[in-house]
Amino acid sequence: MLRFIAGVVPQDATGRAAAVAVNGGRGLSFRFAGELDTIVTVRLDEGRVSAIYCVRNPHKLGRLTTEVPLGR
């Protein structure tokens, strides 16, 4: 997965990556110039990565800037 990410991020990009929880699973967040740019999550089937999901839509990322409490 990291090889894929390294291949799609521009070589001159400077930013930060961090491990985050997304929809109850693990993911990576990428920030460039202090702004959330991308969230990457994966689907695992039998211990292997079967899908990689990248979200870059600013309207969808806007919901990820704050933690949403869960309730019943």
d(CA 36, CA 56): 9
User: Residue 18: is it exposed, middle or buried by C-beta count within 10 angstroms (0-12/13-18/19+)?
Assistant: exposed
Q: How high does pLDDT run on average in the chain?
A: 79
Q: Is the pTM of this model over 0.75?
A: no
Q: Which two tokens stand for residue 13?
A: 């990009």
Q: What are the tens digits of pLDDT across the range 39-70?
A: 888 888 998 989 988 888 888 887 766 655 65
* Model pLDDT, residue 38: 87
Q: Which two tokens stand for residue 35?
A: 């702004």
User: Which residue type, as a one-letter code, is found at position 34?
Assistant: G
* Model pLDDT, residue 46: 94
